[in-house]
């Protein structure tokens, strides 16, 4: 499990007003403050600005994980036609939630990168650059998953299940079903992609805390 939520609750600048998130997220609680320099203010504001929607997307992906298991089993149910339409509608909603957060997240990561210009210390600039790259990796994987899931939505819209689950017509349709709808998680490498996201989030959490401690006088 990612430890990024711990950092999101901890790395806030007491003297700064955090940027608003584009979607409702849990209120971040201050458990540490950082020195109010332009460099440290940028770190606190933009890191947390990126983390909030990133965590919101992680929660959405938790729901998607459960739903994809349901999609894999939908044709084993007698009321599969209704379930199929319901699962498709849920997935459309989840993909929409993911994609709404992505632009703001990228904006905040870009803002974090600009922190390199707020210091004359080469080590500080390098540290912010590496942190932004690690967050960018997590973003890229969330973006890729959102696109992959959108592809599944389109495949589900194109596929029309037969009326009788045991009919020859439906069995033939299932044989012709796009591969991404037979074992969705496996096809998308869903769990593997989420592992990459969690690893990038964990490392970014460690990096941000290290920067705050080393250069911004963290005072828990």
Q: Report which of 205, 9, 1, 165 is spatially closest to residue 82, judged by C-alpha positions.
A: 165
Model confidence at 135: pLDDT above 60: yes
Across 67-81, 118-132, 168-182, least confident range: 168-182
- Is there a contact between 8 and 28 (Cβ–Cβ < 8 Å)? yes
To which residue do tokens 């606190």 refer? 44
Across the range 135-156, mean pLDDT stands at: 93
Q: Report which of 55, 33, 47, 52 is spatially closest to residue 112, judged by C-alpha positions.
A: 47
Q: Report which of 192, 57, 189, 191 is spatially closest to residue 135, judged by C-alpha positions.
A: 57
Residue 69 lies inside a defined structural domain of this protein: yes
Residue 41 lies inside a defined structural domain of this protein: yes
- Would you state the pLDDT for residue 27? 43
Domain count of the fold of the chain:
1
Residue 117: which domain range?
4-215
- Would you state the pLDDT for residue 111? 97
Residue 220 lies inside a defined structural domain of this protein: no
């Amino acid at each position: 499990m990612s430890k990024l939520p711990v950092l999101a609750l901890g790395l806030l600048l007491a003297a700064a007003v955090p940027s608003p998130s584009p979607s409702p997220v849990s209120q971040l609680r201050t458990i540490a403050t950082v020195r109010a320099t332009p460099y440290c203010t940028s770190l606190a504001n933009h890191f947390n600005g990126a983390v909030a929607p990133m965590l919101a997307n992680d929660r959405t992906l938790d729901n998607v994980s459960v739903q994809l298991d349901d999609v894999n089993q939908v044709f084993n149910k007698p009321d599969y036609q209704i379930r199929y339409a319901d699962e498709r509608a849920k997935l459309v909603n989840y993909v929409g939630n993911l994609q709404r957060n992505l632009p703001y997240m990228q904006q905040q990561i870009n803002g974090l990168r600009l922190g390199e210009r707020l210091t004359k210390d080469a080590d500080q600039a390098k540290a912010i650059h590496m942190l932004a790259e690690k967050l960018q990796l997590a973003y890229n994987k969330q973006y890729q998953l959102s696109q992959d899931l959108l592809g599944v939505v389109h495949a589900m819209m194109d596929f029309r299940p037969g009326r009788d689950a045991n009919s020859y017509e439906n069995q033939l349709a299932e044989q012709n079903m796009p591969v991404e709808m037979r074992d969705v998680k496996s096809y998308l490498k869903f769990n593997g992609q989420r592992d990459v996201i969690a690893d990038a989030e964990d490392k970014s959490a460690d990096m941000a805390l290290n920067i705050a401690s080393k250069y911004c006088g963290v005072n828990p």
